[in-house]
Amino acid sequence: MTEVWQPDSLFSRPELWAASFLDEYASDVPGGDRADREEEYDDFEAEYDLGDGYVFRVASGFYGSSLSLRHPGATDPVELGWDDLAHWHPHALRWSEVDLICRATALADPDASYPGPYLALLGRFAPLCTDADAAIAVPLLREAFAALPGLDPYQRRAYAAHGDIRAFGVDWLQDDETGWWYLDYVEQPDNPYRDDPDYPAGDLYSMRDPDDPEFPFAALATAVDRARARCAAVRDQPWSSHPEVEAAARSFAADPTAAHRTALTTALHTAGCTDRSVLSALSPGAGELRALVMTELLLGVDPHTLPRTRSGHAAPPPRRYHAHAYLPVSSSEAPRNGPASQLKPLLNAALRAAGLGTTKHGPARVGRRDGSWVDDLPLTVIDDWRAAIEVIRDVLLTAEAPAGSSIEITRHGETVVVSLD
């Protein structure tokens, strides 16, 4: 069964976010039970309705997400991409397209705040290929995931970077004959991420090929144009061009303080604005970037002009390392619920709370060349590997791991070994 998304109901379901982002170890913490939750909750859909039959739809559940476009020229929705654990093709939309679609959806539906959950879902289908895109998209995505209750620090960081493929060496190109945009590998001699083994690399998987007659390029372009027109229409409202509103909006744009935000809201009320989408984006509880995006629409300035002044340079993609915790054991016979199995959820909880990593498959009992045996706990670490090692070490020491236990992490192609002794 699929339920059409009601935001309030989804906000209370962090396990659905974990499952749709293929975070299979999110429940591998003390008290977690993914199987029970999988049976309890249905899949859900989010719709981005741009009017006149143009509707983007993201369907998410326990096995990934898919993106489709319904438009007047097709009997059924056309799939644009999907992201799962099988034959994924998630590279479907340009960041500028996602930005316009989410802005326009938020203008029509006050519950679809931007940045917010709608961006968190659709943004995974907009690969970040360059620092220019990442400088804008990453802060907006982080604010979107920060608004979701129940996610741990690791989830907020990892999910926001889900579509960051700057290390892949790809970029958007425009077809000479049709003018359609598509993704392809390009020469990037100045790309600092592509040949660094600590940045996650991968392959391009996209259905958006100008040689594919079935991809709905024309319908996609029309849908984005409709989103652009809806955003531009904000400036046509009489309260938007009111002198006091313009002055207050410029003050807030230059210095986004609480006082200037209040002044802008007051000016809008005085000018006769009753649009809940506009006013809620400027409410005291709304994020700073959300308020700046709405201010851009009020002023009619180019998208990202104001958020860019706040975000600065692009942060690099999160570094990703393979780590292992090794616990010496006395024989090759692995008990069903030995010390390693008991330590795994403790390690996972500690790494996630620090925003530094997660567990992987395992544990597994493996033999070493000297004839000894160890239980191997594989881990994924992001960004600060030294801080992650300290977290792992503290957990092992607190749990009184066996003498001779060690931690290994691979960085720059070399293995660093840290002994607990």
pLDDT digits (tens, 9 = 90+) for 49-98: 999 999 999 998 777 899 999 999 999 999 999 998 888 999 999 999 99
What are the residues whose beta carbons fall under 8 Å from the beta carbon of 177, sequence distance 6 or more?
210
pLDDT at 251 over 50: yes
| Partners of 382 in the β-ladder | 320
* pTM of structure: 0.91
Q: What confidence score (pLDDT) does residue 60 get?
A: 85
Give dist(CA 306, CA 136) in Å, integer.
10
In this structure, of 41-45, 264-268, 290-294, 386-390, the range with the lowest mean pLDDT score is 41-45
In this structure, of 82-86, 282-286, 320-324, the range with the lowest mean pLDDT score is 82-86
Average of per-residue pLDDT across 409-421: 90
At 68, is the secondary structure helix, strand, or coil? strand
Angle between helices 131-146 and 153-160 (to 10 degrees): 150
In this structure, of 34-43, 198-207, 377-386, the range with the lowest mean pLDDT score is 34-43
Give dist(CA 282, CA 297) in Å, integer.
12
What are the residues whose beta carbons fall under 8 Å from the beta carbon of 228, sequence distance 6 or more?
100, 104
Helix (H), strand (E) at residue 232? helix 217-232
pLDDT band with cut points at 50, 70 and 90 for residue 100: very high
Given a contact cutoff of 8 angstroms between Cβ atoms, the answer to whether 157 and 354 are in contact is: no
pLDDT band with cut points at 50, 70 and 90 for residue 6: low
Give dist(CA 72, CA 355) in Å, integer.
44
Q: How does strand 2-4 pair with strand 43-49?
A: parallel
Pairs from 50-57 (Cβ < 8 Å, separation ≥ 24): 50/101, 50/104, 50/105, 50/223, 50/226, 50/227, 50/230, 51/108, 51/226, 51/230, 52/226, 54/219, 54/222, 54/223, 54/226, 56/101, 56/122, 56/223
By percentage, how much of the chain surpasses pLDDT 70? 93
Cis peptide before 363 (omega within 30 of 0): yes
Cα dihedral sign, 101-105-107-112: negative
Q: Tokens for 359?
A: 């567990």
pLDDT at 148 over 60: yes
pLDDT band with cut points at 50, 70 and 90 for residue 147: confident
Average of per-residue pLDDT across 36-42: 50
Q: What confidence score (pLDDT) does residue 256 get?
A: 94
Torsion angles phi and psi, residue 414, rounded to 5: -115, 150
**C-alpha closest to that of 357 among 309, 410, 318:** 318
pLDDT band with cut points at 50, 70 and 90 for residue 10: low
At 138, is the secondary structure helix, strand, or coil? helix
Residue-averaged pLDDT of the chain: 90
H-only helix segments in 243-401: 243-254, 258-270, 276-281, 288-299, 305-311, 339-353, 385-398
What are the residues whose beta carbons fall under 8 Å from the beta carbon of 124, sequence distance 6 or more?
21, 65, 83, 90, 162, 163
Give dist(CA 191, CA 130) in Å, integer.
9
pLDDT band with cut points at 50, 70 and 90 for residue 110: confident
pLDDT at 261 over 90: yes
Torsion angles phi and psi, residue 46, rounded to 5: -120, 130
Give dist(CA 34, CA 394) in Å, integer.
27
Give dist(CA 236, CA 164) in Å, integer.
36
Q: What confidence score (pLDDT) does residue 315 get?
A: 86
Q: For residue 370, with 0-12 CB atoms within 10 Å meaning exposed, 13-18 middle and 19 or more buried, which class applies? A: exposed
**What are the pLDDT digits (tens) for 181-236?**
999 999 988 899 988 999 988 899 999 999 999 999 999 999 999 999 999 999 99
pLDDT band with cut points at 50, 70 and 90 for residue 1: very low
Average of per-residue pLDDT across 262-290: 96
Q: What confidence score (pLDDT) does residue 217 get?
A: 97
Q: What confidence score (pLDDT) does residue 30 get?
A: 62
Q: What confidence score (pLDDT) does residue 4 get?
A: 47
Give dist(CA 242, CA 158) in Å, integer.
42
Cis peptide before 110 (omega within 30 of 0): no
By percentage, how much of the chain surpasses pLDDT 90? 72
Amino acid at 322: H
Torsion angles phi and psi, residue 416, rounded to 5: -105, 130
